[in-house]
Amino acid sequence: MTTLYEKTPFVGIVSLNGFSIQIGVKDTDDITDVETLRPGITISKTLMRVDHKGKRFLHQGDHVYVPEKGWYQLNELQLIKKVNGVRLYRGITMYRSDTSLMALPFLGGDRKMFGYTEHMMNAFCFREGEKEGQYRIWVLIRIGDSTGYEHANNALTSSPCLINTEEYGGEFIIHTFTIPNVFRPDFDLFLKSKFSRMSEGAKERIYDFHKIQDRHNRLRMQLERSKRLRENMEKEWDLEEPLSPQVELRDPLSIERETFYDRYIIDDGRKRKST
């Protein structure tokens, strides 16, 4: 690792992919992790910021510059480990949306086809300035120069569901796909956050896409309204009344998280081109 910013606790950028960035920070006594409660259906803590000498140093929402790559927004921070005098933080550059988990599989293919880990930033069921009810999703891809990217790009551009492609500043592509007719009733349920009400065919498509075989996988348990998961949640929340067997076990869609905004591409010199 090389020094990125002089006279700061930054050590450097350890790794980067389409979904996260790992940042090395000097592990000294004047570094403090500040946590806060995360809202939602489950109660947990999240790392809100990292302070240096009592002053804000890294914070959710901050932008971090990666040489030759550009600026990345930190939507979430996690302390992974401490090793050799360095704190290794993982910054989620974009939350993995419910669209990418449950609606993207309706297009066919699998995670490899979309470059899910290395190149796909996220997928969205809403877009700023677009009408709702069009049965579309938008997939944001970071352009790469690897064989894996070429294979993913070829698969995406040859998809029968693809209806539009836009390039942003030579670094990002956003593909617009239409939901196949067979899965449109499931997509309607998805948009209403009635995830467990989707058809068995839709659920199997999701499991196949993510290669989910373990019946105790949390997403699978949520889609199947698992009794075990429901009882665990009752204990975790210390509820006086049990949850109804009909209740959804996953938070409803966040419109903000599921919407693509042009501001996500923060290169001021970007150009937008459709093909």
Indicate whether 84 and 100 sit together in one domain. no
Over residues 133-145, the mean pLDDT reads 91
| pLDDT for residue 3 | 39
Q: Which of 34, 65, 92 is the last residue of a domain?
A: 92
CB atoms within 10 A of CB 45: 9
Indicate whether 156 and 57 sit together in one domain. no
Indicate whether 184 and 135 sit together in one domain. yes
Average pLDDT of the chain, as a whole number: 87
| pLDDT for residue 44 | 56
Residue 226 has pLDDT above 50, yes or no: yes
Number of continuous H segments (helices) and E segments (strands) in the chain: 6, 16
Residue 270 has pLDDT above 50, yes or no: no
Residue 38 has pLDDT above 90, yes or no: no
With respect to residue 2, please indicate whether it lies within any of the assigned structural domains.
no
CB 258 within 8 A of CB 138: no
Q: How confident is the model at residue 41 (pLDDT cuts 50, 70, 90)?
A: very low
| pLDDT for residue 143 | 87
Indicate whether 48 and 147 sit together in one domain. no
Query: What is the domain range of residue 187?
Result: 96-275
Over residues 134-158, the mean pLDDT reads 90
Residue 267 has pLDDT above 50, yes or no: no
Indicate whether 87 and 130 sit together in one domain. no
| pLDDT for residue 68 | 74
Query: pLDDT tens across 167-200, in order?
Result: 876 788 999 999 999 999 999 999 999 999 999 9
| pLDDT for residue 1 | 34
Indicate whether 170 and 53 sit together in one domain. no
Indicate whether 76 and 100 sit together in one domain. no
d(CA 45, CA 77): 11
Longest Cα pair distance anywhere in the chain, in angstroms? 58
Residue 33 has pLDDT above 70, yes or no: yes
Q: Identify the weakest region by mean pLDDT among 92-96, 190-194, 268-272.
A: 268-272
Indicate whether 124 and 177 sit together in one domain. yes
pTM for this prediction: 0.78
| pLDDT for residue 101 | 97
| pLDDT for residue 148 | 83
Task: Specify burial of residue 180 (Cβ count, 10 A radius: 0-12, 13-18, 19+).
Answer: middle
**Count of domains observed in the chain:** 2
- Percent of the chain at pLDDT > 70 equals 90
Q: Which of 92, 110, 128 is the last residue of a domain?
A: 92
| pLDDT for residue 2 | 38
| pLDDT for residue 20 | 83
d(CA 153, CA 155): 5
Indicate whether 150 and 226 sit together in one domain. yes
Q: Identify the weakest region by mean pLDDT among 33-47, 186-200, 232-246.
A: 33-47
Indicate whether 121 and 255 sit together in one domain. yes
Query: pLDDT tens across 54-82, in order?
Result: 998 898 888 888 877 777 888 888 899 99
Of 36, 28, 33, 91, the residue nearest 62 (C-alpha): 91
